[in-house]
Structure 1
Amino acid sequence: MPPNADTNSSGRKIRLAPATESDVGLILWFIKQLALYEKAPDQVTATEDLLRQNLFGPRPYAEVLLAHVTDDSGHEHPAGFALYFHNFSTWVGRPGLYLEDLFVCAEYRGLGVGRMLLERLARVARERECGRMEWVVLDWNQPARGFYASLGAKEMTEWIICRADGRALEEMAAM
């Protein structure tokens, strides 16, 4: 996935590029910013070491796409990120692309950063012959829900997310 740059309607340059191991601190910062936005900062237990191991170690479990915006003076600023990985659909017999996190800093919303990240991920999904691209959105996040709908995404309201973590996961594994 080569880096690309685009100029939006405001004339600001937006650059997307895959994250590298040297970006681990920035990735963790974005994760913490997303947690603040989602009113759950105390739930982040990720560390730079864990991210380094699990994103860039011998078996990478996910990939990260970073967005940077160039200001009027030519300085580039981190603007957003998307963290994604592959899942698999037995019904379509193909991998899927699952978007775990998408976040754009408040000062860069409305510039097209989120749209560019999603469009790039859709191209990645198509290039990798994925059957679909999926993600979840919090029910109270109306701006995000409206944004996704404007791009043609449909909400799958008949599905309920189930999760086992912490103690429940340990107990399930010990059965």
Structure 2
Amino acid sequence: MSIQIIPATRDDVPELLGLIRELAIYEKAEHEVKATPELMTKAVFDDKYAECLIARKLPKDGAAGKGEAIGMALYFFTYSTWLAAPGLYLEDLYVKPSERNLGLGKRLFGELGVIAKEKGCQRMEWRVLKAGFHCSSPKSVRADQRVQWNEPSIAFYTQCLKADPQSEWEGMRIEGDEKIQKLIDDFQKP
């Protein structure tokens, strides 16, 4: 089996959205996906807010076609004032279940590492949903009822990649037009 990891193009958007939807289903939050082909094309390829790698299983025996999309890594660059250096933030990493445990996640991270080094990044960061939580309502599930469905992802990052969990930082978010507008209305000085 031959796998190619390359920068995604506009033509890949439908397949990327399919992978994003699969990731959301895995995280039990499909209803939260608002992305459309138009929005993704504008954000990633026109405005360049993010970049994306796509992994493809190439057709056998040199057959025509670009192959099946089996994984992706969507990322963007950040900046650390403390390090005075850029960083690479991985927004989403996804590998189709049928292709897991074959080294594709490692290969995607390896490609991200090359990109980070080329850009002079001093760190790579991402978040992983804590085991037992669901994206849609993490506070609504009692600790004794939690299903440890995301432990394979956490194990991949900590054991295979030797990543350090950052428990001292709490993720914060203001999301949605209404909340952002309220922030502006409440705190912007005329």
Equivalence map 1:3-152=2 (5 Å): 12-57=1-46, 59-70=47-58, 76-140=67-131, 141-149=150-158, 150-152=160-162
Q: Percent identity?
A: 41
Which structure shows the bigger proportion of residues in helix conformation? 2
The CA deviation string for residues 104-148 of structure 1, in whole angstroms up to 9 with x for no partner, is 000100111111001110111011100100000010121111111
C-alpha distance in structure 1 between counterparts of 2:185 and 2:19, whole Å: 34
User: 159, 170, 179: which one pairs with 1:160?
Assistant: 170
Opposite residue 122 of structure 1, the aligned amino acid is G
Opposite residue 98 of structure 2, the aligned amino acid is E
Structure 1 stretches of 5 or more lacking a match? Answer: 1-11
C-alpha distance in structure 2 between counterparts of 1:74 and 1:32, whole Å: 30
- Shift in alpha-carbon separation, 1:74–1:157, aligned structure 2, 3 A: farther
The Cα of 1:74 is off from its aligned counterpart by 5.8
Which structure shows the bigger proportion of residues in strand conformation? 1
Please report the RMSD computed on the Cα atoms of aligned residues, expressed in angstroms: 1.4
Query: Larger deviation: 146-155 or 34-43?
Result: 146-155
Which of 1 and 2 has greater Rg? Answer: 2
Report the count of equivalent residues.
Answer: 163
The CA deviation string for residues 52-91 of structure 1, in whole angstroms up to 9 with x for no partner, is 111111x210001000124666663211000000011111
Could you list the runs of 4 or more consecutive aligned residues of structure 1 that deviate by over 6 angstroms after TM superposition?
none
Aligned to 2:183: 172
Opposite residue 116 of structure 1, the aligned amino acid is R
Contact 1:79/1:113 (<8 A) preserved: no
Normalised TM-score (structure 2): 0.82
Normalised TM-score (structure 1): 0.89
The Cα of 1:168 is off from its aligned counterpart by 2.1
